[in-house]
Amino acid sequence: MADGRASAHGRPGADARAASFGKPLLSLALAGMMEDVRALAGGVYLLAPGGSVLEMAVMAGLPRAFAAPWERVGIGSPVPVAEAARERRFVWVGGEEDMARRYPRVAVVLPYPFALAAVPVATASTVYGSVFVTWPGSHPPELSDRERERLSTACDRLALRLERAAAEHRQLPPEADLLAIPPEAPTDDPLGTGEAARMVARLPYGLCSLDLNGRLGFVNPAAAELLGAPADALLGTRLWVSVPWLDDPVYEDRYRAALFSLHVTSFVALRPPGDWMSFRLYPSTTGLSVRITRARAVAELGRAGRRPGGPSSLVTISQVLSLAGALTEAAGVQDVVQLVADEIMPAVGCQTLVMLGSRGGRMHVVGHRGYADPQLVERFDGLPLAEQNPGTQVLTTGVPAFYETRGQLDRLFPAVRDVPGQMAAWAFLPLIASGRPVGTCVLGYAERHPFPADERAVLTSLGGLIAQALERALLYDAKHRVAHGLQAALLPSSLPSLPGFEAAARYLPATQGMDIGGDFYDLVCSHGGASAVIGDVQGHNVTAAGLMGQLRTAVRAYTTVGQAPEEVMSSTNRLLIDLGTELFASCLYLRLDPGTGRAVMARAGHPQPLLRHPDGQVRVLDLPGGPLLGIDASATYPTTEVELLPGSVLALYTDGLIESPGLDIDETLAALGRRLAETGDRPLDELADGLVEFGAGVTERVDDIALLLLRARADN
pLDDT tens digits, one per residue of 528-543: 788 999 988 886 666 7
d(CA 34, CA 44): 12
The whole-number pLDDT of residue 485 equals 64
The whole-number pLDDT of residue 16 equals 36
Give CA separation, 524 vs 207, 571, 646, 651, in Å: 89, 17, 21, 17
The whole-number pLDDT of residue 325 equals 65
d(CA 672, CA 691): 7
Amino acid, res. 325: G
The whole-number average pLDDT for the span 380-406 is: 82
Residue 119 β-bridge partners: 131
Q: Is the pLDDT of residue 512 over 60?
A: no
Q: pLDDT band at 14, cuts 50/70/90? A: very low
Q: pLDDT band at 613, cuts 50/70/90? A: very high
Q: Is the pLDDT of residue 565 over 90?
A: yes
Q: pLDDT band at 89, cuts 50/70/90? A: very high
The whole-number average pLDDT for the span 373-394 is: 79
- Are 277 and 267 a contacting pair, CB within 8 Å? no
The whole-number average pLDDT for the span 14-22 is: 39
Helices vs strands, H then E, count in the chain = 22, 26
- Are 607 and 534 a contacting pair, CB within 8 Å? no
pLDDT-wise least confident of 62-66, 224-228, 571-575:
62-66
Q: pLDDT band at 572, cuts 50/70/90? A: very high
Nearest to 309 by CA among 267, 279, 344: 267
Who has greater pLDDT, 327 or 223? 223
pLDDT-wise least confident of 216-220, 320-324, 537-541, 584-588:
320-324
Q: Is the pLDDT of residue 463 over 80?
A: yes
Q: pLDDT band at 15, cuts 50/70/90? A: very low
d(CA 82, CA 129): 8
The whole-number pLDDT of residue 423 equals 84
The whole-number average pLDDT for the span 581-599 is: 88
Nearest to 635 by CA among 693, 675, 576, 558: 576
The whole-number pLDDT of residue 239 equals 87
d(CA 594, CA 501): 8
The whole-number pLDDT of residue 703 equals 73
Sheet-wide strand order for 275-284 = 216-219, 206-210, 287-294, 275-284, 265-271
DSSP letters for 22-59: SS-HHHHHHHHHHHHHT-SEEEEEEEPTTSSEEEEEEE
The whole-number pLDDT of residue 534 equals 93
d(CA 697, CA 700): 9
The whole-number pLDDT of residue 155 equals 96
Q: Is the pLDDT of residue 298 over 50?
A: no
Measured at the CA of 352, the angle between CA 348 and CA 357, to 5 degrees, comes to 100
Indicate the Cα dihedral angle 156, 161, 167, 172, nearest 10°: -120
Looking at every residue in the chain, the average pLDDT score rounds to 81
The whole-number pLDDT of residue 102 equals 85
The whole-number average pLDDT for the span 105-128 is: 88
Handedness of CA 432, 437, 438, 444 (dihedral sign): positive
The whole-number pLDDT of residue 515 equals 55
The whole-number pLDDT of residue 663 equals 75
Task: Give the percent of the chain with pLDDT over 70.
Answer: 82
The whole-number pLDDT of residue 709 equals 94
The whole-number pLDDT of residue 306 equals 39
Q: pLDDT tens-digit profile of 25-37?
A: 898 999 999 999 9
Q: pLDDT tens-digit profile of 194-218?
A: 666 677 777 778 899 998 888 998 8
Residues 6+ apart with CB under 8 A from 266: 254, 278, 279, 280, 281
Task: Give the percent of the chain with pLDDT over 90.
Answer: 29
Q: pLDDT band at 715, cuts 50/70/90? A: low
The whole-number average pLDDT for the span 323-352 is: 78
Who has greater pLDDT, 158 or 363? 158
The whole-number average pLDDT for the span 246-250 is: 78
Burial (CB count <10 Å: 0-12, 13-18, 19+), residue 176: exposed
Q: pLDDT band at 20, cuts 50/70/90? A: very low
pLDDT-wise least confident of 235-249, 526-540, 624-638:
526-540
Who has greater pLDDT, 706 or 411? 706
What does the DSSP 8-state code read for residue 434?
T
pLDDT-wise least confident of 324-333, 462-471, 613-622:
324-333
- Are 2 and 19 a contacting pair, CB within 8 Å? yes
Q: Is the pLDDT of residue 109 over 50?
A: yes
The whole-number average pLDDT for the span 230-237 is: 90
Q: Is the pLDDT of residue 152 over 80?
A: yes
Cis amide leading into 190 (omega within 30): no
